[in-house]
């Protein structure tokens, strides 16, 4: 990191990223009367929804839920058009929020942060952007998101490929045409599932290269029921209050019993009802589906039957049914017409577990047993998740210790918000918080409110710096580990456990105890006068 000697400007706070987390953080810091600079590498706001503009991209959380709750006028005035909002609409919403609260004037666009260094002599962060310019700030807040570091496979030969190629997480802003093209798509997670559905009707031929099938639950997406939305909006405050303490930040009706303990006919009815509701309702049907292998197997068998009903060719259906992981332990996909897409004449599924991709050739993809001529390759190969975006930055705390070194064997945080040795540094939805297991907008609001209250407290008391105690951080690490291991998640190779990235420590880092429990823990920390934190006088 090249750093200029003298900061070009001084701020009370620097925020990294202008996605939903960065936008709300800026809004709240302004309310404290702070001067703030937000650095954003894109040329617009929206974060995830700015970058992931691949065909068919939409949210897997319902639009009335996946939206800010901090301002009633905002939530009342914004009209969503579909049950699950498409990417363009969410991006328009992010822009609406930025404009409504006049946020853009404090954001510098097309300016990524290279790194930041804590200067203990005057207790300030020196933040250097990718162009080498440095500014200083008392507080440094990461709003980099959990899924913003795209992961590309390292197959040889890509540089020689003569067609077009794209990664779903870095999709171009210009229109991409599939018409008349032979398109190859690598990856069958949420991005791959959505892209498959959207590309198949446009392309001459779509070849889907699948390493691991994932479970996908129908979204039953469609125009939003305006009457139901009006009723919800009339009661929005109560709905949001329930969301804040719900397991994943979305109030679901759960049966309350162990799935395996109920009679088969009743369980089948319950699964059918949850299937008809769609999306994450399915995995929330019984509270033990993500903690008990037997109950999970019953839900998985139900979904396998549904897949067989949808796919005309039984051999093809068998290839699409996951066998290597319990349902929901890799992030569930939510679709409208995914399995049915494989009934089309112009769609082929290639099992690259059986015959792996060997290389990209100038004209397509070569697997162990065939050559596939292609005009375009779409990589829906996911992200270096959760810690990846933070580890890309060169963040150095007290005594020059780097976050990368400190976290070499896995992230260490207190509440997913702070880390020992990094005074006045906060992370929004960091590792050790519910983050990716939750409705992100709810978690973002909770984190930003916690950070804002904490900073206001420091100001009121004239305290110079805050960081967690080593004990609090170690104890929280133990809690995250123990709670995680009451679930089925840690035993699976997924981006949740870092298994998708070569060399990454295999750890399940989100806090799995639920959004409500986590919120209560944070409230208790504050009620006990920031228990677990060390406050240093100015």
By beta carbon distance, the residue nearest ligand N01 is 189
Nearer to ligand N01, 128 or 194 (CB): 194
Please identify which residue in 134, 221, 381, 509 interacts with ligand N01, judged by CB under 6 A. Answer: 381
20 vs 66: CA distance, rounded Å = 11
Residue 500 lies near ligand N01 (rule: CB under 6 A): yes
460's CB contacts (< 8 A; 6+ apart) are none
Pick between residue 189 and residue 328 the one whose CB is nearest to ligand N01. Answer: 189
Residue of 131, 170, 126 lying closest to 148 (CA atoms)? 170
Check residue 438 for interaction with ligand N01 (CB under 6 A): no
Query: Does residue 297 belong to the site contacting ligand N01 (CB under 6 A)?
Result: no
Minimum CB separation from ligand N01 for residue 48, in Å? 8
DSSP letter (8 states) at residue 129: E
Candidates 134, 191, 341, 419; binder of ligand N01 (CB under 6 A) is: 191
147 part of the interface to ligand N01, by CB under 6 A: yes
Q: How far apart are the C-alpha atoms of 420 and 398, rounded to whole Å?
A: 9
- Residue 192 as a binder of ligand N01 (CB under 6 A): the answer is yes
Token pair of 195 as six digits: 């892209």
* Binding residue (CB under 6 A) for ligand N01 from 17, 46, 187, 513: 187
In the complex, the smallest distance separating the C-beta of residue 165 from ligand N01, rounded to whole angstroms, is: 14
Quick one: 135 or 303, whose CB is closer to ligand N01? 303
**Maximum alpha-carbon separation in the chain:** 72
Nearest to ligand N01 of 414, 495 (CB atom): 495
b or e along 182-199 (b: 16 or more beta carbons within 10 Å of the residue's beta carbon)?
bbbbbbbbbbbbbbbbbb
218 is a site residue for ligand N01 (CB under 6 A): no
What tokens does 397 get?
Answer: 């705390």
| Site membership for ligand N01, residue 448 (CB under 6 A) | no
Q: Which two structure tokens, joined as six digits, stand for 322?
A: 């996951």
Q: Judged by CB under 6 A, does residue 149 bind ligand N01?
A: no
Compute the residue count for the chain: 538
Q: Is 170 in the site for ligand N01 (CB under 6 A)?
A: no
The distance of closest approach from Cβ of residue 192 to ligand N01 in the complex, given in angstroms and rounded to an integer, is 5
Contacts of range 171-177, beta carbons closer than 8 Å, 24 or more positions apart: 171/51, 171/52, 171/53, 171/54, 171/57, 173/53, 176/55, 177/202
Closer residue to ligand N01 in complex, CB, 296/494 = 494
Separation between Cα atoms, residue 357 and residue 191, nearest integer Å: 20
By C-alpha distance, which of 284, 297, 296 is closest to 253? 284
* 509 scored as a contact of ligand N01 (CB under 6 A): no
CB 180 to ligand N01: min, Å: 26
Is the Cβ–Cβ distance between 196 and 206 less than 8 Å? yes
Give the binding site for ligand N01 (CB under 6 A). 59-60, 147, 153, 168, 186-192, 194, 211-212, 331, 334, 352, 380-383, 436, 495, 500
């Amino acid at each position: 990191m090249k750093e200029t000697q003298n900061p070009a400007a001084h701020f009370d706070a620097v925020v990294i990223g202008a996605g939903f987390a960065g936008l709300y953080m800026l809004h709240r810091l302004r309310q404290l009367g702070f001067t703030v600079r937000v650095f954003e590498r894109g040329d617009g706001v929206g974060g995830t929804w700015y970058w992931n503009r691949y065909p068919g991209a939409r949210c897997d959380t319902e639009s009335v839920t996946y939206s800010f709750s901090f301002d009633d006028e905002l939530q009342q005035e914004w009209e969503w058009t579909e049950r699950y909002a498409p990417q363009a609409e969410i991006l328009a919403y992010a822009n609406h929020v930025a404009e409504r609260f006049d946020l853009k004037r404090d954001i510098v666009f097309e300016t990524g942060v290279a790194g930041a260094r804590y200067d203990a002599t005057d207790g300030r962060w020196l933040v250097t952007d990718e162009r080498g310019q440095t500014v200083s700030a008392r507080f440094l807040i990461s709003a980099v998101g959990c899924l913003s570091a795209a992961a590309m496979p390292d197959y040889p030969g890509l540089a020689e490929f003569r067609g077009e190629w794209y990664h779903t997480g870095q999709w171009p802003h210009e229109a991409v045409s599939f018409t008349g093209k032979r398109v190859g798509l690598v990856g069958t997670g949420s991005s791959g599932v959505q892209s498959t559905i959207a590309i198949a009707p446009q392309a001459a031929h779509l070849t889907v290269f699948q390493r691991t099938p994932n479970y996908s639950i129908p979204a039953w997406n469609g125009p939003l029921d305006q009457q139901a939305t009006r009723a919800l909006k009339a009661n929005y405050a109560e709905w949001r209050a329930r969301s804040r303490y719900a397991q994943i930040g979305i109030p679901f009706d759960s049966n309350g019993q162990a799935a395996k303990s109920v009679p088969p006919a009743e369980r089948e009815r319950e699964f059918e009802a949850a299937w008809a509701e769609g999306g994450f309702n399915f995995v929330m049907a019984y509270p033990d589906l993500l903690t008990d292998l037997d109950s999970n197997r019953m839900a998985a068998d139900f979904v396998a039957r549904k897949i067989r009903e949808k796919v005309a060719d039984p051999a093809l259906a068998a290839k699409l049914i996951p066998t290597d992981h319990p349902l929901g332990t890799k992030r569930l996909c939510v679709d409208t017409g995914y399995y049915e897409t494989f009934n089309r004449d112009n769609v082929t599924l290639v099992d690259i577990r059986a015959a792996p991709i060997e290389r990209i050739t100038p004209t397509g993809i070569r697997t162990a047993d065939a050559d596939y001529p292609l005009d375009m390759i779409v990589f829906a190969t996911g992200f270096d998740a959760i810690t990846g975006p933070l580890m890309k930055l060169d963040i150095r705390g007290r005594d020059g210790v780097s976050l990368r070194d400190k976290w070499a064997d896995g992230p260490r945080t207190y509440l997913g918000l702070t880390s020992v040795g990094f005074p006045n540094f906060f992370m929004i939805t960091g590792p050790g918080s519910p983050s990716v297991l939750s409705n992100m907008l709810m978690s973002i609001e909770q984190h930003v409110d916690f950070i804002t209250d904490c900073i206001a407290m420091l100001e009121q008391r004239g305290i110079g710096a805050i960081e967690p105690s080593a004990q609090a951080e170690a104890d929280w690490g133990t809690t995250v580990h123990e709670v995680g291991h009451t679930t089925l998640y840690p035993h699976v190779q997924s981006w949740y456990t870092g298994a998708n990235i070569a060399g990454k420590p295999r750890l399940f880092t989100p806090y799995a105890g639920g959004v409500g429990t986590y919120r209560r823990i944070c409230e208790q920390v504050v009620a006990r006068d920031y228990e677990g934190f060390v406050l240093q006088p100015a």
